[in-house]
Amino acid sequence: MKNPNLIPTPFAKNGQRDEIPADYKSDLPSQKATWNTGFPLVTMMPVAAGGLPPSGRDFNGILNQISDNIVHLSKGGKFKYSQEYADSIGGYPKGAILQSDDETKEFQSLADNNKINFNTESADKFNSVWKLVSTTQLWDELNKKLNRSDVVQSVGSGKLQVMSQNAVTDALNTKQD
């Protein structure tokens, strides 16, 4: 699968923009967009009928926040656990994969509504709701267990040796000729 055109920087990174609140509060302008309701009805009515135009700063704020997430992912970024975010969404859903704060591990949520922080809680507390699925130490541990002298690059009769993928491919290609 080919990459789409990758976005190099968030939209309106240096432009005028407003932060978009989660919900509308009475002290906000009546045409203020929110994440929960989007743009209000007053922004969809003709001005002659009492409508108000939506704010360009709101558009920039919305597109900035969305594209900021996309740019983060496009750069290979991973999302880390956020207690504030977990609380705002009622906890991470089952299947969510997050990176540890030290960027050496990835954990998968085993439960819906998961608000347990694997970075700060004891393993006894988080092991029932998070599973370690990746670690930078994995390669190091595998290398310690693998005896490289037992990996051979040709077909042989030794019972304690393992053929490399390259040797298997070469042997299969030779038999097909």
Query: In which residue ranges of the chain is CATH 2.10.10 found?
Result: 83-135
CB of 70 closer than 8 Å to CB of 98: no
What CATH architecture is 83-135?
Answer: Ribbon (2.10)
**What digits encode the pLDDT tens for the residues 48-84?**
999 999 999 999 999 999 999 999 999 999 999 999 9
For residues 150 and 161, the answer to whether their CB atoms sit within 8 Å is yes
How far CA 63 is from CA of 21, 58, 126, in Å, comes to: 14, 9, 35
Global pTM reads 0.70
Q: Which residue has the tokens 């597109």?
A: 63
pLDDT digits (tens, 9 = 90+) for 109-156: 999 999 999 999 999 999 999 999 988 877 777 777 766 665 656 666
Query: How far apart, in whole angstroms, are the C-alpha atoms of residue 148 and residue 143?
Result: 8
Burial group, residue 14, by CB count within 10 angstroms (0-12, 13-18, 19+): exposed
